[in-house]
Amino acid sequence: MKHPAIIFDLDGTLLDSLADLAASVNHALQTHGMPTRSIDEVRTFVGNGVRHLMSEAVMPGTASSLFEQVFATFRHHYAEHCMDTTAPYLGIREMLTALQQRNIRTAIVSNKIHSAVEALHQRFFAETIDTAIGESSTIRRKPHPDGLQEAMRRLGSTPETSLYVGDSEVDILTAQRCGIRCITVLWGFRDEMFLRQQGAETCIREPQELLSLI
């Protein structure tokens, strides 16, 4: 089999988490007297981790001390509400089951904090995805290659025998830096024209299309 290991991004690829992220962003902003953000605005902010998300969401010129307070409020709220409406995209569960039946090993690599990644892994994908990796003291956020390299180590795969599946420009760049073929999904947080401009080569519109590419 050409690709016995597949590594997935989480938000915007496996999980539709936008509503919960936006709710926590706006809770933090309102708590500290700042204007809220629309769903479409939050969509453009995600992909580089939650600190970047909140740095984009706060008012321009926000003092660093105030930002840390807003960020702490966001993290506390999101830790309690990250599964309120978040769920796998349509067809994801079936696709993962099909990969499992083909004996293809799988992993998650996300820019979320590792504890949140592991919680979501256990809640939604414990039976179908082998391992999950988030940002930690030893794993830097994408586009650093740390997460993908650690996933390949755990899966016993190489760049030549792995695929990386994601929905953003960060995912495309991360795959390039690791020398891994990237499959870009079009149901996530970015539109096709933007992704093509960022270097996306192989795009899919629904999860089942992935099965024909492996």
Positions marked active-site: 9
- Quickly count: other Cβ atoms within 10 Å of residue 17's Cβ: 23
Task: Read off the tokens for 38.
Answer: 């629309």
d(C-alpha 150, C-alpha 211), whole Å: 24
| Chain position carrying tokens 């840390």 | 68
Distances, alpha carbon 53 to alpha carbons 4, 93, 115, 164, 196, in Å: 33, 27, 18, 23, 23
- Quickly count: other Cβ atoms within 10 Å of residue 45's Cβ: 19
Task: Read off the tokens for 9.
Answer: 């991004």
Q: Tell me which DSSP letter residue 11 carries.
A: B
Give per-residue burial for 24-43: e unless 16+ CB within 10 Å, then b. bbbbbbeebebeebeeeebb
Query: Under a CB-based contact definition with an 8 Å cutoff, are residues 27 and 51 in contact?
Result: no
Apex 51 CA angle, 46 and 56, nearest 5: 60
Q: Tell me which DSSP letter residue 182 carries.
A: E
d(C-alpha 150, C-alpha 178), whole Å: 11
